[in-house]
Amino acid sequence: MMDSVLQAWVAFFKPLGLNYSFVMDPGELSAFGHGLLVTLQLCAWTIPVSLVFGVLIAAALTSGRPWLARPLQAFVEVTRNTPTLVQLYCAFLVLNMLITQKLGGGNPITPFAWVVIVVALHKGVFHAEALRAGIEAVPTVTMEAARSLAFSRRQILTQVQLPLAVRFALPALVNNLVDLVKMTAIASAIAVGDVTYESIMIWSHRDNVLELLLLILLYFGLLTWLVSVGGRWLEERLRMPGYGQ
Amino acid sequence: MANDLVLNAGRARPQATLPALLSAVLRDPWFVLLLALVALGVGWAVTGTTPAAVQALWHWSPALLRGLGVNIQISVLAMALGTIAGLVVGALSLSPSRVLRRLTRAYVLLFRNAPILVLVYFTTYVFPFELNLGGWNLPFPDWIKVVIGLGLPASANVAEIFRGAIQSIPSAQWEAAQSLAFRRTQIFRMIVLPQCVRRMLPSWMNLYASITMSTSLASLVGVHDLVDTATVASNTVARSDFTILVYFTLLALFFAYCYPIARWTRYLERRHEHH
């Protein structure tokens, strides 16, 4: 059944000049499928981790404590103004090397984890900027009201400021997440085995670059579309009368 | 209100005096950090106690700067290509023809939602390595393919920036100008476009900075850029302290190029808010 579907697939694209015969090779097909899965896993890990980083960075930046906010501000500037690939190299080739030297071999952090950490921190900075704008958009009257009702600082943050700020920041956050999905492609630079890396492995001896790239573009198109649909659903769900449109 | 923008465009800005400029620069922590590093380097050179890794970095610095030059060259050309193509696509996306609008929409969606790395692979491996133009065989080097690979997403973004800027001009201005007997091309050239340029500039600069950072991907398709040079240097010297130094120098070089652009962008955005 599966075989005949694949055969039909290959036969359908043959006249168009696209050679998808790699799907008939079980080894290459499973490698490609594994790549699809790894990219999905990267997104599934990076999205929540980046959001956590974003909330933490935004909270620190708006905490009003200079010893916390100043170094983080510097970190934000460096992260925003340097390429993610170079950050990944600094983390994977430098920090990873140092950790390995220190521990003498048994390094618990895999390349996959480094990609999650670097991309999540990078996008976390952008989430933080969006959240900060959202936090600043919370009306001061609301804050004063909360303070007059004897909410503590932490309560104001978690129960008043953040719920409102998230709603204000949601469109920007979804935009960042779409960017994040696209950014996971750099995992191929350190051989994590995502869809881009597995495709490079396949096309380097089959010479079917165009065919695979079309599949990759389609796959990323699907993922980014899913994220934006999810974002719109969330916006719809969280909509509060009187706030936003 | 919007007319003020046009009127103010030619207004002279107050000139900063040299001491004021100096103190402003000295208050910037990044500049102070740079000064401290230079002082440290001079101190090492004078006392002859420069660490071996720093000496190796000094030895490799011309190659690294040449690599940065390649990155800047790619970014400038990609941005030029992206701006020209983007303005055309953006203009077409405002056309009355529905087919054209659909097509430009698809173009923008495709190139904004594709990972830039995948586009770079696309142009590098799908395009031929030689162009055959009527008997002439023109070489088609990888770095030009990277320019195209970065120019495509840039053009999609410029198209969106342009469309947003045009649509942010209140339609009342068109009507007012029409009532003053301006022709359509005149309105566009003398009223709409000057305001659009000012509105587009911050986003355009943001895009340039992001394209510059994306040029680091060129190293993955074998272009000898800054990142590639750093990798070669790190493998050649093969000292772990040099590896640390060279990769953080890489970070610092990109930062030194992109951060002033970001600062200037923010300044322009703030100035725009006043109006």
The 10 Å Cβ neighbour count of residue B99 is 8
Confidence category of residue B274, pLDDT binned at 50, 70, 90:
low
Residues 6+ apart with CB under 8 A from B27: none
- Give the closest-approach CA distance of B215 to chain A in angstroms: 8
Nearest to A170 by CA among A137, A124, A123, A131: A131
Q: Which of B122, B157, B216 to mutate to test the interface with A (most CBs of A within 10 A)?
A: B216
Nearest to B159 by CA among B151, B170, B171: B151
- Give the closest-approach CA distance of B191 to chain A in angstroms: 31
Confidence category of residue B1, pLDDT binned at 50, 70, 90:
very low
Q: Per-residue pLDDT for B175 more than 90?
A: no
Asked if B114 lies within 8 A of A93 by C-beta distance, the reply is: no
Question: Measured between CB atoms, which of A85, A94, A183 is closest to B227?
Answer: A85
Question: Measured between CB atoms, which of B118, B227, B259 is closest to A217?
Answer: B118
Question: Measured between CB atoms, which of B121, B122, B216 is closest to A85?
Answer: B216
In whole angstroms, what separates CA B6 from the centre of its chain? 26
Residues A91-107: pLDDT tens digits? 998 898 888 888 877 77
Give yes or no for a contact between B215 and B140, defined as CB atoms under 8 angstroms apart: no
Query: What span, in angstroms and rounded, lies between the C-alpha atoms of B52 and B237?
Result: 10
- H helices present in chain A, as ranges: 2-13, 26-61, 66-80, 84-89, 96-103, 111-136, 140-148, 153-155, 162-183, 195-206, 209-238
Which residues of B fall within a CB distance of 8 Å from A115? Answer: none
Chain B residue set in contact with A, beta carbons under 8 Å = 29-30, 110, 113-118, 121-122, 125-126, 209, 213-217, 219-220, 227, 230-231, 234, 240, 243-244, 247-248, 250-251, 254-255, 258-259, 262
Give yes or no for a contact between B44 and B51, defined as CB atoms under 8 angstroms apart: yes
Give yes or no for a contact between A28 and A22, defined as CB atoms under 8 angstroms apart: yes
pLDDT of residue B16: 61
Asked if A220 lies within 8 A of B113 by C-beta distance, the reply is: yes
Asked if A85 lies within 8 A of B217 by C-beta distance, the reply is: yes
Query: What span, in angstroms and rounded, lies between the C-alpha atoms of B131 and B145?
Result: 12
A80/B contact by beta carbon, under 8 A? yes
Q: What percent of chain B has pLDDT over 70?
A: 93
Asked if A186 lies within 8 A of B117 by C-beta distance, the reply is: yes
* Averaged pLDDT, B23-36: 80
A214/B contact by beta carbon, under 8 A? no
Q: Which two tokens stand for residue A165?
A: 């700020």
Q: Which two tokens stand for residue A214?
A: 């079309």
Query: What span, in angstroms and rounded, lies between the C-alpha atoms of A239 and A167?
Result: 7
Which residues of A fall within a CB distance of 8 Å from B116? Answer: 182
Residues A173-183: pLDDT tens digits? 999 999 999 99
Nearest to A55 by CA among A145, A134, A112: A134
Q: What is the mean pLDDT of chain B?
A: 85
* Averaged pLDDT, A99-119: 86
Which residues of B fall within a CB distance of 8 Å from A101? Answer: 240
A185/B contact by beta carbon, under 8 A? yes
Q: CA geometry: angle at B44 spanning B42 and B49, to 5°?
A: 160
Query: What span, in angstroms and rounded, lies between the C-alpha atoms of B140 and B132?
Result: 10
* Averaged pLDDT, A188-202: 88
Q: Per-residue pLDDT for B231 more than 70?
A: yes
Give the orientation angle of helix A26-61 with respect to helix A66-80, to 10 degrees.
140
Asked if A81 lies within 8 A of B115 by C-beta distance, the reply is: no
pLDDT of residue B7: 42
A203/B contact by beta carbon, under 8 A? yes
Give yes or no for a contact between B231 and B220, defined as CB atoms under 8 angstroms apart: no
pLDDT of residue B275: 53
pLDDT of residue B43: 85
Residues B202-211: pLDDT tens digits? 899 999 999 9
Query: What span, in angstroms and rounded, lies between the C-alpha atoms of A221 and A34?
Result: 18
Which residues of B fall within a CB distance of 8 Å from A80? Answer: 262
Q: Per-residue pLDDT for B198 more than 70?
A: yes
pLDDT of residue A135: 85
Which of A7-11, A205-209, B33-37 is the most confident on average? B33-37
Asked if A220 lies within 8 A of B115 by C-beta distance, the reply is: yes
pTM (predicted TM-score): 0.84
pLDDT of residue B4: 41
* Averaged pLDDT, B81-89: 94
Which of A109-113, A116-120, B127-131 is the most confident on average? A116-120
Give yes or no for a contact between B169 and B195, defined as CB atoms under 8 angstroms apart: yes
Which residues of B fall within a CB distance of 8 Å from A86? Answer: 216, 227, 247, 250-251, 254
ipTM associated with this complex:
0.84
Asked if B29 lies within 8 A of A74 by C-beta distance, the reply is: yes
pLDDT of residue B184: 82
- Give the closest-approach CA distance of A155 to chain B in angstroms: 33
* Averaged pLDDT, A122-132: 92
Q: Per-residue pLDDT for B224 more than 60?
A: yes
Query: What span, in angstroms and rounded, lies between the C-alpha atoms of B78 and B86?
Result: 11
Q: Per-residue pLDDT for A130 more than 80?
A: yes
Asked if A87 lies within 8 A of B121 by C-beta distance, the reply is: no
Q: What is the mean pLDDT of chain A?
A: 88
- Give the closest-approach CA distance of A152 to chain B in angstroms: 34
pLDDT of residue B13: 52
Residues A23-82: pLDDT tens digits? 778 888 888 999 999 999 999 999 999 999 998 998 888 878 888 888 899 999 999 999
- Give the closest-approach CA distance of A22 to chain B in angstroms: 18
pLDDT of residue B3: 42
Q: Per-residue pLDDT for B9 more than 80?
A: no
pLDDT of residue B10: 44
Which residues of B fall within a CB distance of 8 Å from A36? Answer: none
Q: Which residue of B has its CA nearest to A225?
A: B113
